[in-house]
């Protein structure tokens, strides 16, 4: 088997906060991403998804752990050395309104990464690369001469994707790329990303808070809670048999995926990552928790082939009728 495109080991990102305390936004995350694979990252707001994506791209330095990308340890690369790596790993933002400069034409927006990473490209070649990329993301070449406000939300997100792809990266980190879009437009953009993965051989780290959206696009899914991966599995396996009570609760909150059962599964907010519960971080919201769940942090254990969960009560989750088969979300 090929070595993975991206290998992340025990990655952590800590922020110092008031009172000399530490906020553990990402707290020991490990995963691999193979070439051409889509790995979904899902969890409620505050679970550390954005921080994970930014650390993986080295937009912010990790506090601990290791990032190996294309066989190269990029964990501690200098700013200069990073620039060479950057063109191979790009970010798509959540908000296609805020992330595109309204005073620049689409051509100017897409020219910036080309000027940085392919400075020898002449003007005409640059223009044709831009036009080609606009067509690749389902827009017209003439879009180059227009301004962001002339486009709909979905079209703007296509422009954001074009900007990320114009230097032909191998890894795309898409952070809530459809969360700001109307539901009807979400599936179109998800479809586009799947199509681009196919045609360009892209690997995608697809981050979203909505497990139904993540299920539409991902080959595998990592579920995050308080900076940790609590479950990771093939999408089908995760949907068929969630092995972590948090995942079970995420499913039950989505009407199409089992919300018909009961929606009381997940009460209250995610605890503060500054002072997480002792032992299992999820135990304060867990329907299966017992006193000894407070003692140790559960480690990720393989429960079936390729399906890992971090839970002290896996047999209870498995026995629950609530965690019975959620239908896979389908596109369109
Ligand atoms: P998500 O994307 O899952 O909503 P984030 O990665 O944005 O989660 O945030 C995870 C935690 O880290 C949150 O508690 C957030 O407040 C905190 N956090 C994120 N960025 C910073 C920062 N620059 N300084 C301090 N805390 C931060
Ligand atoms: Mg986020």
13-50: pLDDT as tens digits: 999 999 999 999 999 999 999 999 999 999 999 999 99
Q: How distant, in Å, are the alpha carbons of 2, 54, 178, 327 from that of 273?
A: 36, 18, 26, 32
Contact (CB, 8 A) for 170 and 202:
yes
Q: Whose CA is nearest to atom 10 of ligand 1?
A: 48
The residue that leads in pLDDT, 1 or 110, is: 110
Of 28, 71, 36, give the one whose Cα is nearest residue 52. Answer: 28
The mean pLDDT value for 72-90 works out to: 94
Alpha-carbon distance values, 266 to 5, 29, 300 (Å): 35, 23, 21
Pairing assessment for the beta strands 89-92 and 171-175 based on DSSP bridges: parallel
Ligand in nearest proximity to the CA of 43: 1
Q: Among 64-73, 178-187, 245-254, which range has the highest average pLDDT?
A: 64-73
Q: Where in the chain is the domain with CATH 3.40.50.300?
A: 6-88+169-323
Average pLDDT, the chain: 92
Q: What share of the chain is helix, strand, coil (3-state, %, to 5)?
A: 40, 20, 40
The CATH number of the structural domain formed by 6-88+169-323 is 3.40.50.300
All residues at 6 or more sequence positions from 325 whose CB lies less than 8 Å from its CB, including other chains: 239, 240, 241
Q: How many residues does the chain have?
A: 332
CA 224–ligand 2 middle distance (angstroms)? 12
Atom of ligand 1 nearest to the CA of 274: 14
Instruction: Report the pLDDT averaged over residues 195-216.
Output: 95
Averaged pLDDT, 159-174: 97
Ligand 1 pocket, 277 CB below 6 A?
no
**Residues 77-84, mean pLDDT to the nearest whole number:** 92
Does any ligand 1 atom lie closer than 6 A to the CB of residue 202? no
Which numbered ligand comes closest to the C-alpha of 60? Answer: 1
CA distance 234 to 238: 6
% of the chain at pLDDT higher than 70? 93
| Inter-helix orientation angle 123-136/106-117, to 10° | 120
Instruction: Read off the pLDDT of residues 242-274 as tens digits, 9 standing for 90 and up.
Output: 999 999 889 887 776 655 555 556 777 889 999
pLDDT value at residue 319? 78
Using an 8 Å Cβ cutoff, are 114 and 107 in contact?
no
- pLDDT of res. 332: 42
Note the pTM of the prediction, 2 decimals: 0.94
Q: Which two tokens stand for residue 63?
A: 């506090």
Decide: helix, strand or coil at residue 305.
coil
The pLDDT, as a whole number, for residue 233 is 97
Euclidean distance between CA atoms 144 and 332, whole angstroms: 29
Does the CB atom of residue 214 touch ligand 1 within 6 A? no
Count Cα atoms within 13 angstroms, Cβ side, for 246. Answer: 28
21: β partners: 17
Report the alpha-carbon distance of residue 185 to residue 191 in Å, rounded: 10
H/E stretch holding 160 reads: helix 153-165
Residue 321 is predicted with a pLDDT of 67
For ligand 1, the distance from its centroid to the CA atom of residue 275, given in whole angstroms, is: 14
Q: Is the pLDDT of residue 60 over 70?
A: yes
pLDDT digits (tens, 9 = 90+) for 99-157: 899 999 999 999 999 999 999 999 999 999 999 999 999 999 999 999 999 999 999 99
Please give the number of the atom of ligand 1 that sits closest to the Cα of 23: 26
Distance CA 234, CA 112 (A): 37
User: Which ligand has an atom closest to residue 175 CA?
Assistant: 2
Spatial strand order of the sheet with 72-73 comes to 21-33, 6-17, 64-69, 72-73
Yes or no: say if 17 and 274 are a contact pair by the CB < 8 Å rule: yes
Please report the beta strands in 4-149, taking only residues with DSSP state E, as ranges in sequence order.
Answer: 6-17, 21-33, 38-42, 64-69, 72-73, 89-92
Tokens in use for 84? Answer: 């060479």
Residue among 80, 69, 67 nearest 9 (CA):
67
Average pLDDT over residues 174-185: 92
- pLDDT band at residue 212 under the 50/70/90 scheme: very high
């Amino acid at each position: 088997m090929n070595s993975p495109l991206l290998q992340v080991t025990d990655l952590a990102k800590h922020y110092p906060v008031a009172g000399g305390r530490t906020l553990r936004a990402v707290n020991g995350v490990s995963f691999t991403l193979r070439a051409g694979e889509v790995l979904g990252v899902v969890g409620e707001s505050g679970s550390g998804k954005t921080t994970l994506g930014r650390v993986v791209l080295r937009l912010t330095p990790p506090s601990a752990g290791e990032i190996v990308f294309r066989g190269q340890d990029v964990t501690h690369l200098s700013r200069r050395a990073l620039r060479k790596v950057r063109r191979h790993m790009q970010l798509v933002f959540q908000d296609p309104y805020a992330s595109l400069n309204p005073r620049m034409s689409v051509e100017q927006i897409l020219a910036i990464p080309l000027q940085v990473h392919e400075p020898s490209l002449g003007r005409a070649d640059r223009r044709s690369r831009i036009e080609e990329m606009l067509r690749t993301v389902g827009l017209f070449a003439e879009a180059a001469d227009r301004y962001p406000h002339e486009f709909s939300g979905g079209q703007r997100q296509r422009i954001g994707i074009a900007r990320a792809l114009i230097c032909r990266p191998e890894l795309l980190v898409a952070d809530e790329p459809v969360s700001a879009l109307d539901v009807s437009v979400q599936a179109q953009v998800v479809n586009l990303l799947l199509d681009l993965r196919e045609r360009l051989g892209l690997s995608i780290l697809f981050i979203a808070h909505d497990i139904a959206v993540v299920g539409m696009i991902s080959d595998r899914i990592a579920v995050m809670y308080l900076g940790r991966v609590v479950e990771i599995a093939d999408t089908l396996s995760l949907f068929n048999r969630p092995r972590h009570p948090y995942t079970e609760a995420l499913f039950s909150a989505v009407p199409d995926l089992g919300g018909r059962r009961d929606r009381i599964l997940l009460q209250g907010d995610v605890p503060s990552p500054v002072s997480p519960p002792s032992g299992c971080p999820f135990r304060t919201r867990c329907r299966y928790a017992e006193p000894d769940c407070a003692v140790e942090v559960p480690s990720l254990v393989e429960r079936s082939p390729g399906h890992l969960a971090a839970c002290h009560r896996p047999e209870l989750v498995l026995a629950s009728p609530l965690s019975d088969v959620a239908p896979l979300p389908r596109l369109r």
